[in-house]
Structure 1
């Protein structure tokens, strides 16, 4: 066996994404480079690690077993590096955070200065929908999660970071006002996918106000909803945090509706009773000291709505 650490990382990423294309994007490598390294790694085994059927790559049972061993090897390599840096008195290691999709407009501002102060820290931030975020927290796969709706199925501790405001938004204010004055239920509404916190909040508002929805479109990301609004597909109840530029450029409009905005809170949460790593403890201490300053410097525009 003569495999390299680079080959191990590439193989593990392919197993994770089930795609040469996605693996190359995540690793900032070309597809041919990833394919060559995968082939070189596979050639060291008599049993196939992967199978390609049509254009889709599948991981064999043997490949999954090898991937488990590869993950252990890489974790041990990281541990060696972290111990070396810790011995020098530097804060080092992995900080793993799972973030609901709209939270990508929030979390980076609460991370950048901490990472600059501690350049040896490796940040792993997964951006996905609320259900997957809670699952990763429940499985103890991450240190923290950023949510706007607290989970009901697990016990957590929290640190509130920023208020979350959701408004009815569209690209034609005049048209929407004509609708809302007549009947809010006649608006063509755009939904996020099931499992999204934004969708959960929107459905709660609709149910609470007994609004019947006659026409709706479901899209799988905040960006997709925003593009649909810009194209004039309809209206949606959206978090203010993700539409700053579009509002300031008058590309989207907030539509006044009784009962809106809906207000929740962006909170960093972690499992109750979890033994936090030194990095996680340091990050919480940083946030407690700096969060008000971050709000003032990065989110002052937010208070105008």
Structure 2
């Protein structure tokens, strides 16, 4: 057999995502390139690794066993690399963080200099909704999770990073009278929600319940970026995190509608299970954050205070 580490990595990603398309996206490769590598890898085995039914790919039992072996091989390669770097006195290892979707706008700034200082550290950052983020923490699949709503069912520790401000947002073309109420707005415009399981959705629903507000027309979209594009297209309004619309506000494409009771404020916090035994890498990252977070906020999020 002449399979390569690259083929093992690609096949493992296909198994993990259950999709050639999603695997190609996560690997930053074209779909044809991933398909060719899967074909070349499959040709080295007499037993099928996958089967396609309709337009969906399924992993065979044999394929699952090969994926397990591939993961072990890849981990051993990582271990060899880490040992080499560690022997040179460098910080080495993997840092695994699960991030709520709006957190992708802030966490990279808290990671950038740390990653530059430690070239022997590999980063795994999974961006998903709050429900899946908490689940990855519960199953100890990650070192940390970044959330804007603290899970009440877990015994956790935390370091607070940045306030999360949510405003009522609409496209710039729509005009409102000066004293418009949120009830009047929701009577004429659809309210765009995130999907269930999203922290932003939870904050929106709690705000509407507290203020006895209902929306006559509703839309549901599965990502913050999709909501933003719907706003830009004029499909409705939404309560959105300020952090995700910086460029659109600057370019005069979206507007914040001043409404009593808004913004809603929560806090993005990096959390971990209480009592977790941190690796040297994750301990070093926590030390870095405690020392540098205020300077990072001042340097990277100074614009935030204007709203």
**2:247 is matched with which residue: 245, 252, 262?**
245
Correspondence 1:199-218 to 2 at 5 A: 199-218=201-220
Would the aligned equivalents of 1:176 and 1:255 in 2 still touch at CA under 8 Å?
no
Q: Write the distance in 1 (CA, Å) between the matches of 2:194 and 2:36.
A: 39
Q: Corresponding residue for 1:180?
A: 181
Correspondence 1:193-232 to 2 at 5 A: 193-232=195-234
Correspondence 1:141-180 to 2 at 5 A: 141-172=141-172, 174-175=175-176, 179-180=180-181
**2:304 is matched with which residue: 299, 302, 305?**
302
Classify the secondary structure of the residue corresponding to 2:270.
Answer: strand
Would the aligned equivalents of 2:98 and 2:142 in 1 still touch at CA under 8 Å?
yes
Of stretches 282-291 and 28-37 in structure 1, the one that deviates more from structure 2 is 28-37
TM-score normalised according to structure 2 size: 0.95
Deviation digits for residues 58-104 of structure 1 (CA, Å, limit 9, x no counterpart): 11122112211211121121112111211110011111111100001
1:265 maps onto 2:267 in alignment: yes
Would the aligned equivalents of 1:190 and 1:235 in 2 still touch at CA under 8 Å?
yes
Classify the secondary structure of the residue corresponding to 1:174.
Answer: coil
Q: Corresponding residue for 1:288?
A: 290
* Offset, 1:55: 2.8
* Offset, 1:253: 1.1
* Offset, 1:156: 1.0
Change (3 A) 1:185 1:38: closer
* Offset, 1:36: 2.7
Correspondence 1:1-305 to 2 at 5 A: 1-172=1-172, 174-175=175-176, 179-180=180-181, 183-186=184-187, 187-305=189-307
Q: Write the distance in 2 (CA, Å) between the matches of 1:66 and 1:176.
A: 63
Change (3 A) 1:61 1:263: same
Would the aligned equivalents of 1:177 and 1:255 in 2 still touch at CA under 8 Å?
no
Deviation digits for residues 27-58 of structure 1 (CA, Å, limit 9, x no counterpart): 23333332232222222222211002233211
Aligned CA-pair RMSD? 1.6
Classify the secondary structure of the residue corresponding to 2:169.
Answer: strand
Change (3 A) 1:38 1:185: closer
Classify the secondary structure of the residue corresponding to 2:175.
Answer: helix
Q: Write the distance in 1 (CA, Å) between the matches of 2:115 and 2:182.
A: 49
Classify the secondary structure of the residue corresponding to 1:195.
Answer: coil
Would the aligned equivalents of 1:168 and 1:255 in 2 still touch at CA under 8 Å?
yes
Of stretches 67-76 and 108-117 in structure 1, the one that deviates more from structure 2 is 67-76
Would the aligned equivalents of 2:183 and 2:213 in 1 still touch at CA under 8 Å?
no
Deviation digits for residues 177-233 of structure 1 (CA, Å, limit 9, x no counterpart): 565276354242110000100000000000000112111111111111111111111
Would the aligned equivalents of 1:198 and 1:238 in 2 still touch at CA under 8 Å?
yes
Q: Aligned residues, how many?
A: 305
Q: Write the distance in 2 (CA, Å) between the matches of 1:182 and 1:7.
A: 56
